[in-house]
Amino acid sequence: MQPSSYSETIDWLFQRFPSYQNIGSSAYKPGLENVLKLCDLFAKPQEKLKFVHVAGSNGKGSTCSILASFLTENKLRTGLFTSPHLVDFRERIRVNGEMISEEEVISFCEKIRSLPLDFEPSFFEITLVMALHYFVNANCEICVIETGLGGRLDATNIIQPLLSIITTISLEHTNFLGNTLAEIAFEKAGIIKKNTPVIVGFKNPITEVVFKEKAFREKAQIEFTEDFPTPIPASFPLLGTYQKQNYQTVVHAIKHLSNHFKLDLSKMDGALSNLYRNSGFQGRMQVVEEQPRVIFDVSHNAEGIEATLKFLQNEFGTLKIIYGSSADKNFEEIFPLFSTENQYFFTEFNNMRSAKIESLKNYSEKHRLSAHFFSNAKEALRTAKELSNNTETIVVFGSFFLLHDFLK
């Protein structure tokens, strides 16, 4: 078989194993049977590595990135697996911040193509096993793994971590995970393993019971970040109250990981200042331009959007908001969060899962918002800039796919 180019390989990967990122719910395959079969074909890489496993509705990507950056600053060979990607598929798989090479992706996919598979793995399962296989070959000493959806039946739940982390819980992916916070917490709690400590970001009376019950059954030590307050550095570089909460969760996690590795907490300053270099972290209240100020953010569910808007409105006052969303989001929850004092630029993005202008217009009119509508996201931003003075703030959020249209 002739080796493919990288772009041909990625096209094959997305077409042969349709991804949740592109087509949504029909790509979701809960359960661990297929991913375990796939791992067996690659000499069980999940048994050769050490892990931190991170789940949650919001904050798990930031938490993974901050932790991976800190471990990198401590000279540990650190693998990082996150999803989705913003521009390049390789963003999902990194070692000390460096993306997996195009050649490694091609090589792994050629192996998959040559296998006589008698089962249908998902895109996410293929990607996870690619990451684990790569981390073994790269001699990673510790790997930080972000769940996809949920936890209990998520493909990543084949790993046996040194530490589990659950950030926050909100109503999300209700068609898969349940319609109540307790049901969703039950799915996330699936990453709690026997005799393995777990840190839960922040307490909620409904979810706290679920986590404690699961931890008790598994004889797992459970701790809540807010019971162990950590001072925030004066030079903390990230915008958003929730990022300070994620930082506190990471500091608490480091105390547990210090039982396994020699870690120097003073390296955290470097971890924060080198966050992008060490993890590829971007799109979380990221200031990308000034005069007018333009901020990119990946907030996409009601809880994340509420936290983002609350912080930015307190910080900068009235906003110009560019919003595009996947069609499956709960607009009945999201649109009431939009203040009539802001100006809105609703847009579609270049992905089949995009909410259409007609739907966005209906909700905008229902909530009496001052709004413009665009079929092209870049045109929305261009118009917002034209209507802004140098002191105003433009916020772009609603979906990873929306940011992809700007960053690609």
Cα torsion 114, 116, 122, 128: sign: negative
Cα(258)–Cα(255) distance, integer angstroms: 5
| Residues near 142 by beta carbon (within 8 Å), at least 6 away in sequence | 50, 51, 52, 71, 76, 77, 78, 79, 162, 257, 261
Average pLDDT estimate for 321-348: 96
Instruction: Tell me which H or E stretch contains 222.
Output: strand 222-224
pLDDT at 353: 87
Q: What is the mean pLDDT of the chain?
A: 92
Average pLDDT estimate for 166-170: 85
Q: Which residue has the higher pLDDT, 89 or 301?
A: 89
* pTM attached to this predicted model: 0.88
Cα torsion 113, 115, 118, 119: sign: negative
- Express each pLDDT in 370-400 by its tens digit: 999 999 999 999 999 999 999 999 999 999 8
| Banded model confidence at residue 4, pLDDT cuts 50, 70, 90 | confident
Complete domains list, the chain, with CATH? 6-279 (3.40.1190.10), 286-407 (3.90.190.20)
Q: Which residue has the higher pLDDT, 408 or 87?
A: 87
| Residues near 39 by beta carbon (within 8 Å), at least 6 away in sequence | 45, 46, 129, 132, 158
Distance set, CA 169 to CA 21, 71, 187, 201, 269 (Å): 21, 26, 10, 9, 28
pLDDT at 102: 97
Whether 105 has a pLDDT exceeding 50, the answer reads yes
Which three-class secondary structure string do you get for 314-330? HHHCCEEEEECCECCCC
Q: Which residues are bridge partners to 294 per DSSP?
A: 289, 394
Nearest residue to 51 (alpha-carbon basis) of 129, 142, 138: 142
- Express each pLDDT in 277-318 by its tens digit: 999 998 888 898 999 999 999 988 888 899 899 999 999 999
| Banded model confidence at residue 1, pLDDT cuts 50, 70, 90 | very low
pLDDT at 27: 47
pLDDT at 178: 56
